[in-house]
Amino acid sequence: MDEDQIIGELKKQGIDLVCSIPCDKAKGLFYRLPGEFRHVGLTREEDGVGISAGAYLAGARPLVAIQSSGLGNMLNSLLSLSVTFGLPLPILASWRGCEGEKIPAQIPFNRPLPKILAAAGIACTVVSGPDAAPEIGGAVAAAYRDHAPHVILVKPGCIAEAAGSAPGEGLPVRPFSVCYTRNWRTPSMTRYDAIRTIAGVTGDEVLVANIGVPSKELCAARDRPENFYMLGSYTQASAIGLGIAMARPDKRVIVIDGDGSLLGSAVLPVIAAAAPGNLTIACLDNGVFGSTGNQPRPGQDRADLALMALGAGFTHAMTVHEPRELEAALAARPADGPSFVHVRILPGNSDVPNISLSPAQIRDRFMAALNPRQTG
């Protein structure tokens, strides 16, 4: 089958957003995807899970395209986000490690991959041959029918490389200058203070809260259908926010993320490249892993999240230390974002109750709020 057949099957199934990391075994197809679909280029495969989750929640129909080895990076997010919340996600994967594989490192994970996926309860379709493009469309349809991940493994040789697939362009050259002075002060607010401040100035914005205590604190501060509470999937809060912002450019989105979560992620340059003007990342930095007992994180007194955001390509980044500064930063968000607000806070967890909603209830009321004319 050729690239046109595969792209045609994806379009027939209504796919309107593709997140991808290329594979050499299907390089022509991966080169074509950005020109055929709304596209997000990834630097780490698991971010595609979060972006796709957010996009689906906001009414889009996403797919992730990767090399099969990237599924090892995605398993936790697939189970704790896609499976837990019942979110469909077709994953088109060029299957490495099969017979004839020349790279030894590709074999241990990839060769038994169908059994690994079966053990995790993730559906898998192995494309049977070069004339089986409809099998790809059928697997995509199954993912959306079953509201679950579905991996499509395409063996080497099943995709005919188009002659003369164009190479990627060289690095762009653009002027860039930044004058940066760090002015850290002793923070005056806890995370709960910061979350109550954000919730208090929120109008019709969508809020995405990081896993653990931050989601509980947002629920306690101001529970509303437009809040998406994460229950797992470490590092995926900002990825979810990016997916929502891309699918609904008419909605302003604020992600309440954490310093440890963002330092463990590769999503900042992805967000900067996508450049959604309606997305704000509020990084609540207490220098510790708050939900697990306030253990100090690496780089507690050194890592500068605002400077990292600027280096990743954000054009707007600011640091705040107290509620009035946070309110002013949110009020001053430009329309040509994304914006990054580094919120320096004190360690400590508030005594708030657990979220009483089930994953399905969180999903359904959120989707109903964003897509009142569309059912999940």
Residue pLDDT, tens place only, 68-104? 999 999 999 999 999 999 999 999 999 998 878 889 9
Strand order, beta sheet including 89-94: 38-41, 17-20, 62-67, 89-94, 149-154, 123-126
Mean pLDDT lowest among 186-195, 231-240, 285-294, 362-371? 285-294
What CATH number labels 191-370? Answer: 3.40.50.970
Alpha carbons 339 and 254: distance in angstroms, whole number: 9
224, 228, 269, 268: which is closest to 248 by C-alpha? Answer: 228
Alpha carbons 363 and 153: distance in angstroms, whole number: 28
Tell me if 3-154 shares its fold with 191-370.
yes
Where b means 16+ CB within 10 Å and e means fewer, 289-315 reads: bbbeeeeebeeeeeebbbebbbebbbb
For the chain, give the percent of residues with pLDDT over 90: 78
| Structure-token pair, residue 186 | 């002793």
Residue pLDDT, tens place only, 97-136? 887 888 999 999 999 999 999 999 999 999 978 788 899 9
For the chain, give the percent of residues with pLDDT over 70: 97
- The reply to whether CATH 3.40.50.970 applies to domain 3-154 is yes
pTM attached to this predicted model: 0.94
**Contact status, residue 146 vs residue 88, Cβ threshold 8 Å:** yes
Q: What is the largest CA-CA distance in the chain?
A: 64
Parse the chain into domains and list their residue ranges. Answer: 3-154, 191-370
